[in-house]
Amino acid sequence: MSSTSTGSTPPRQALSKIACNRIQKELVEWQVNPPHGFKHKVTDNLQRWVIDVNGAPGTLYANETYQLQVDFPEHYPMEAPQVIFVPPAPLHAHIYSNGHICLDILYDSWSPAMTVSSICISILSMLSSSTAKQRPEDNDRYVKNCRNGRSPKETRWWFHDDKV
């Protein structure tokens, strides 16, 4: 199951010039000033970033490392990037076992002023405030629906709450 979700690539459209410039600038900024707890090994693939996330000390995910996969759409930043965990994904009430993340800023509440760096910080804060390691209630149903390699951006999300 895990292979269907990460192996699936969103339809690859070449990045627009605006997107290219913007990602390039974010990459430079990341290299100078990476968000704390994250590591991105720069490759020549501008369109997909794979980022290591370290659980923050003193939280349920301390000493655990996960991987985020960020795919940029053609019209980034007018469209949100697709951000998922590469399975095994952390156990969390808003993270599905296929790596999809239920977080409003990645979908309806996206704003082009956000960056990969600010997304990373939001995800880490979501992990850090978790009080129990558990999957979302509808995990099995949702993951089954995504088996054909559907992108989380095609999901019609309803956002659980903003506490966790």
Partner 1 sequence: MAPSAAESPSAMQAERLRQDGNTYFKKDRFGAAIDAYTEAITLCPNVPVYWTNRALCHRKRNDWTKVEEDSRRAIYLDHSSFKALDLGRGANPQSYIVEEIWQELAKAKYQEWEHESNKRSWELQTLKEACESALKEKISLDSSQIEGFLDDTIDSNPAQLEAQLEALGQVFEKAAEPDLPTEVPDYLCCKITLDIFRDPVITPSGLSYERAVILEHMEKVGEFDPITREPLHLYQLIPNLAIKEAVQAFLDKHGWAYKTD
List contacts with partner 1 (CB under 8 A): 16-18, 21-22, 25-26, 29, 75, 77-79, 110-113
Q: Which residue's CB is nearer to partner 1, number 42 or number 62? A: 42
Distances (CA, A) of 153 to 24, 36, 55, 79, 141: 23, 27, 25, 10, 17
Residue type, 159: F
CB of residue 76 to partner 1, shortest distance in Å: 11
Q: Which residue's CB is nearer to partner 1, number 20 or number 91? A: 20
CB of residue 156 to partner 1, shortest distance in Å: 18
120 flagged as catalytic: no
Q: For strands 82-86 and 65-71, give the pairing.
A: antiparallel
Burial degree of 46 (CB within 10 A; 0-12, 13-18, 19+): middle
CB of residue 78 to partner 1, shortest distance in Å: 5
Q: Which residue's CB is nearer to partner 1, number 25 or number 133? A: 25
Considering only CA atoms, which of 154, 143, 157, 145 is closest in space to residue 73?
A: 154
User: Tokens representing 14?
Assistant: 């070449």
Positions marked active-site: 102
